[in-house]
A = this chain, B = another copy of it.
Amino acid sequence: MKEPLVMGESALERDSRLRQVDDGVLEGEVSLGWCIGDAANGGYALSLGLRALAAVLPLPDPLSSTAHYVRPLAHGPVRIEVETMRIGRTLARGVARMLQDGDECVRVIAVFGTLPQVPAEPLYAEPCDILLAPIADCTPLVLNTPGGLTAHVRARFDTRYDPGSVGWARGTPTGRPVLSAWVRAEDGSEPDRFLLPVVADALPCTAFDLAVEQRVLTVELTVHQRAVPAPGWLACSYRSRLVADGFMEEDGEFWDSTGRLVGMSRQLAILPRQNP
């Protein structure tokens, strides 16, 4: 049963509500709506862990956050234990352990700070060079994952795929582990520091365009956030350099509607059937 939306609340906020039950201990619910099959999407799990950290740490924005996925985090109740590390004026660090039935499923370590609302002139900024066609030339799709699991999380986004991406979804894998798309929340809410980690992991794996037809499991995901995204579409690019020996990395870049690089992600993932 979906909980009702409170006025002005986004679907992600509704599905990330946590209540403090003890000093540094929070409880909540992993929502099926952000799962792939029965297990939380890795980006949503990270986002939930960051919510718990944000409730405890004195600075608002996760600058760098890393999640290690130890066990599947299932749809249902979750307990999050937050440990604060050093708290400074500019940086505050903490660790969140996400538990189900006493077992740790995900561990998040993050450093929080304050992202500029109005960024200063950068000392250096590479221009956006990702290959992404104008929105009107991109295709809206809600894609499942090869193997038949329902990717509930994909329905949370309005995703417009570049014509050169997700060939596998049209039966002709491109042979290149590259994906680009325009992304925004399906409920019309604007991107923020908790949505971006979800976007980092919610799109189909780049390896599907290498004709990999199995679920690819995230082992570790790190997300850097560099600015508060402006309202509007995110231009997203995902790319892998090396898919070998049962492992792959996937690098994401996230540009806001003003053309500013607001985040970068990298994950290490495992292709289970390729492993001995």
Contacts and interface: CB of A to CB of B under 8 A. Distances in A.
A219 B109 contact: no
Contacts of A125: 241-244
Q: A interface, by DSSP: helix, strand, loop or mixed?
A: strand
A217 to B, nearest CB: 10
Interface stretch (A65-73, A149-157, A160-168): A65-73
Interface stretch (A12-20, A29-37, A43-51, A84-92): A84-92
Contacts of A242: 122, 124-126, 226, 261
Nearest to A85: B70
A173 to B, nearest CB: 11
Nearest to A65: B220
A210 B85 contact: no
A210 B275 contact: no
A185 interface: no
Give the size range of A's interface with the partner: 35 or more
A123 interface: yes
A202 interface: no
Contact of A109 (B109, B212, B244, B275): B109
Interface stretch (A1-9, A140-148, A189-197, A263-271): A263-271
A79 interface: no
B104 A266 contact: no
A119 interface: yes
A275 B126 CA distance: 21
Q: Could you say which of A90, A124, A271 has the most chain B C-beta atoms within 10 Å of its C-beta?
A: A124
Contacts of A271: 123
A66 B220 CA distance: 10
Given A64-B219, A68-B111, A266-B266, 17 more contacts: A85-B104, A107-B109, A122-B243, A122-B245, A123-B207, A123-B243, A124-B177, A124-B210, A124-B240, A124-B244, A125-B242, A125-B243, A222-B266, A224-B266, A224-B268, A226-B242, A226-B245
